[in-house]
Every structure is written in structure tokens, then in C-alpha cells.
Amino acid sequence: MICTGSNSFNRMTRFLFSFLVFAHFLVPLYGQTQTSDPAVIAANTAPSPGSAEPAAEPAPAPKPASPQQAATRPRLDIYGFAMLDMGYQFRQNDPDWFDVIRPTKLPAFADEFGRDGHWYSSVRQSRFGVKSFSPTSIGELRTTFEFEMFGVGADAGQTTIRLRHAYGEVGQVGAGQTWSVFMDPDVFPDSVEYWGPSGMVFFRNVQVRWMPIQGDTRLTVAIERPGASADAGIYSERIEIQGINPRFPAPDVTAEFRYGGQKWGYVEAAGIVRKIKWDDVNTTDPFELSGSATGWGINLSSNIKIKRDTVKLQYVYGEGIENYFNDNPVDVGIKLNPGNTVTPFLGEPLPVTGIVAFLDHRWSERFSSSAGYSRVEVDNTDGQLPSAFKTGQYALANLLFRPVPNVMMGGEFQWGERENFSDGFTSEDYRIQFSFKYDFSASIGGN
């Protein structure tokens, strides 16, 4: 299970290069065997609802319609898909996360989760959603209610209902649970692995948002539900820690600006600021461990379109914003405070850096590939355990086939790696996955 990070990354780079060269020659060979009948081609290559979206996440909501385009009657759209994931895991991870690549869930020491090698099957990505569109005197009222079957938290590892979106908007105001304004969902690659890049900002949050500029170029400001977690580190077994309670006196404030509507794509900048407090309610010991921290972050992202390719990029840096990341364990760490007998340690927001770089390539109307790399790195504090999570790496490459509208199937190679804080331990996981996805949609009412 122990490996050298640089050697693993070199092997991953060679694989990605070999895969793309192989696919470059394979796809044209298949294309030469297809019918040239225009009617058949048109029937088999018509756009599929959701066919261009990533397997794990939907494409962004449609742009608001102009008053001339808005529907004059209410409309209800029903949509979703049934999806099977099946594959072989060559190493091991936390069994509650058997069907995804999450570096934080890889072993923190040798054989933490038993022996290597597991076959897995899952339908937990399957999804059902309803969207409504209703005309009003101040603009179109839009609502989304969507859930999937991927259990997390207390339901981790289970196939059970999980709410994704419960959101509505009209005019310049929206409220409910949906993508955080600090997140850019368009960075998610066209992959079949569910969880996604470890270094990506990825969070659905409860919020109220104001959208003074809408469309391809947009400006959004929101207040969002606060929350954070802490790592007690080397003091985790001390009873004094048990009396420290987190408190969030204000909502998280987020904002984004996207410059879009260009043939080459778009660029986006987003920011966040938050307040985190913790109160020491113990009255029977001589310590005073209350404290506070300010979390903040910036997120720069883009989609760059080059003919049949889309380059998806993201760079994010901040302190105390780990819970907005796709795969990051804690926001606050323990920092030693030697010489102070009343406050022997302090809480410190952990600096974190995330990067995402993926290429989505369409070989033809039926074949596509995605390949890329992501990384998240935490600047740990001196009070964290040597086995604390420090760095997570993630990469994949796939070949996807859409034989007819609303049907997708394909194979994907996936790789992840975890590096601990200071004990020198590194673990990796890699797997081959095959997925089958069947979309459905229907509309009721409307013009």
C-alpha cells in the first residue's frame, strides 16, 4: 500500500497519454463501419437530454428566458436516469465508499480496510427530478426538486434517497438548496465516476441568492448556511476537548461573477468569507479554550472551447473553507501554544489549495472521452496527528459511447492517492469501471 507519490503520478501520466493515443486510432476505425444513410445518422445522433452532462452532475439550469420567450402557461418537466456502475478495485478503501474514488477515504495506514481487490456494483447514481416553470407578473417562476440514491452521512454506503436540489427563483431572487455560489458546476468532467475531482469546490448548500445580472454574463451574491468541522489532533482523547461547542454567529457570504457568452467559453471568479467560533463551556477545569477564526477563499475557473475540445480549469485557495471542497476532511486544526498554561493550544483555519484540469474531447457524434487530473493540499498545523490527511490526488480517463439518444455506456480508468501529514505514509487506489446510463424525460403543459 505504501508508494512514492512521484512514481505514481508518472505512471498515471504515461497511462493517460497511451489511452488518448489508443482512442485516437480506435474511434475512426469504428466510424468507418457506420451507415452513411443520412436518415439513420440523424435518428441516432439527435441531441439527448443530459447526454452532454457529466454522469455525476447535471448541466447548469437553462438561462432565464426573455419576456418574449417566456411560457404563457405553466410547464412541468420530469427527468432523470437509471444508471449502473460496475467494476474492479485493485486496492482498498473505506467500504462505505466502495463505488467512488475519494482520497480522504483511502487507508491512513497499511491494510486499514483489509486485503486489496474488490468487485463492486452500484445503482446509487440513479436520479429523479422535477422542474416547474410558471409565468408571473415579475418574471418566470422556476422550481427544482431533485434526488438521487447515494447515501452519505449516517446513510453512507447505503442505496437510499438523498436530496440534491430543493430550490426556486423568480426575478432576481432565488432560495432553497442548490449549488453554492462559490462553486462552478461546469468544471465537473464528463466522467462516470460519481464523486468527482478531489480539488474541486463542490457543495450544494441552503441559501438565499440575489442575481442582479443574469444570462451568459452574470453576477450573483448569496448568504449560505454556515458549517465547519475541526480536528482535535493530539488532544483528541483529552476530556477537556469534549466541552467545546462550535457556533456560527452569521451566514457564509458568497459571490461570483462570470464573463461568458463567448465562442471560446467563459471565465469566472468567486469568493467566500465566513465566521467560525467555538465556546469552551467547561467550568471545572483551569483552561480557557474558546476562540474564533475567519475563513475566506477565492475560486478562479474557466471552460475553454477549442473545436471539439473543452478544457475545464479551476484554481482555488483559502483558509478554513474545506467543507466547500469535494473531498476534504476538516476546516480548523489545533496549533500548539507553548508557555500558556491557560490556553495550551489554539484553533487555526487550515490553508488549502485545490486545482482541476480536465479535457473533454468529442471524437464523433457518438464517441467522447474525458481525461485529467485534480489535487487538493492542506497546510497542516503542528497539533494534528502524523496520520492526518494532507494531500489528495485524483485522475481518470474514459471512452464513452452514445449509440442512440438517451443511452450512454462506457469504460473508465480511475486513480486516487492519499498522503499523510508527517508519518511518510502514502496509499493509492485504482480501478476499472464500466457504466450504463438510460435517461428519461417528459413535459406536461407549456406552450
Tens digits of residue pLDDT in 332-382: 999 999 999 999 999 999 999 999 999 999 999 999 999 999 999 999 999
List CB contacts of 199: < 8 A, sequence separation 6 or more: 314, 316, 325, 326, 353, 354, 355, 356, 374, 375, 376, 392, 394
> CA-CA-CA-CA torsion for 104, 107, 108, 111, nearest 10 degrees?
180
pLDDT digits (tens, 9 = 90+) for 338-349: 999 999 999 999
From 74, 81, 28, select the one nearest 54 (Cα to Cα): 81
Neighbours of 338 (CB within 10 A): 7
Write the CATH number for 20. 2.40.160.10
- As a whole number of angstroms, the distance between CA 276 and CA 324 comes to 14
Dig out the grid coordinates for 84 from the structure: 449502473
- As a whole number of angstroms, the distance between CA 63 and CA 215 comes to 6
Residue 10's pLDDT is what? 57
- As a whole number of angstroms, the distance between CA 305 and CA 236 comes to 48
List CB contacts of 235: < 8 A, sequence separation 6 or more: 241, 334, 345, 383
Contact between 208 and 429 under an 8 Å Cβ cutoff? The reply is: no
Residue 153's pLDDT is what? 95
**Residue 23: domain span:** 5-445
Residue 61's pLDDT is what? 47
Residue 443's pLDDT is what? 97
Residue 240's pLDDT is what? 83
Residue 40's pLDDT is what? 34
Give the residue ranges of the chain where pLDDT is below 50: 1-5, 21-22, 25-56, 58-62, 64-68
Residue 59's pLDDT is what? 46
- As a whole number of angstroms, the distance between CA 312 and CA 441 comes to 28
- Amino acid residing at 77: D
Number of domains in the chain: 1
Residue 160's pLDDT is what? 98
Residue 11's pLDDT is what? 56
Tell me, rounded to whole angstroms, the distance of Cα 313 from its chain centroid: 13
